[in-house]
Amino acid sequence: MDFVHLLRYHLSLLRRSVCDLPQRRKAIGTMSLESEIHRGVASYYTQKIREHGATARGVDWNSEASQTLRFEQLLRVANGAAEFSLNEIGCGYGALVDHLRRGGSKFRYHGVDLSADMVAAAQVRHGEAPGVSFAVGAAPDAARDYCVASGIFNVRLETSDADWLSYVLATLDTMHQYSVLGFAFNALTLYSDADRMRPDLYYADPLRLFDHCKRFHSRNVALLHDYGLYEFTILVRKNVP
């Protein structure tokens, strides 16, 4: 890129960063878009768990192996800490708690999900575990060390690209708000094969989400796009000097 192109590129980013936040707040500010999306998503996943039960298929993953691979990427945000507290947005039936237990670290966990059926399943499976809690909703009850989300940005149903992007960015702001040391999330990638893309799913531009996190949340952001799925994970670390 020559100097003029580079300058134009940076000016466009600057313009976007200045204009972006208020616009997004305005779009989401009415709450109607957000609650409409939440209703559609909750009903989609409620149907999944009713069909397939508390299994990877029940949260719309192809396999338990890919579900686990996603957890491994997300938990890299914690840098192998021996003890931490964690919020999960979109906890499903609580599979991350099983994964954390297998890992052997000491953790406190709070999971929220839009689907009451998901939360009921999670409570049956882990409700008695000390330091583990679940609630129906889209935001945690308090900030914890980390906040993670796996698979919450994929199913956009009939929402337009522009509205879904506003919704994703607003949700990232929520993850930022409810995490002290960092947050991590995944999304399907725009770099997917065109013939495999579905109109009801959202394929995010990894660079756009990276840019947002870098500008508004932390200087320390990692983009992982190297683990063999048609998606990426972003880690936002806030505890690095």
**Which residues of the shown chain bind ligand SAM in the complex (CB under 6 A)?**
41-42, 45, 59-60, 67, 89-92, 95, 112-115, 118, 138, 150-152, 171
Residue 155 DSSP label: B
**What string of DSSP letters covers 179-206?**
EEEEEEEEEEETTS-GGG--TTB-EE-H
CB of 199 or CB of 241, closer to ligand SAM: 199
d(CA 116, CA 128): 18
> Shortest gap between Cβ of 94 and ligand SAM (angstroms)?
8
> Shortest gap between Cβ of 137 and ligand SAM (angstroms)?
7
* Residue 203 Cα distances to 155, 174, 189, 212, 237, angstroms: 10, 21, 5, 16, 24
Q: Among 179, 166, 170, which Cα is nearest to 74's?
A: 179
Q: Kind and range of the H or E element at 116?
A: helix 116-126
Q: Which two tokens stand for residue 97?
A: 């708690």
> Shortest gap between Cβ of 117 and ligand SAM (angstroms)?
9
CB of 156 or CB of 237, closer to ligand SAM: 156
> Shortest gap between Cβ of 199 and ligand SAM (angstroms)?
18
Q: In the block, which residue shows the tokens 């009801």? A: 200
> Shortest gap between Cβ of 232 and ligand SAM (angstroms)?
15
CB of 72 or CB of 83, closer to ligand SAM: 72
CB of 157 or CB of 220, closer to ligand SAM: 157
* Residue 24 Cα distances to 7, 42, 56, 134, 213, angstroms: 25, 22, 33, 29, 14
CB of 28 or CB of 112, closer to ligand SAM: 112
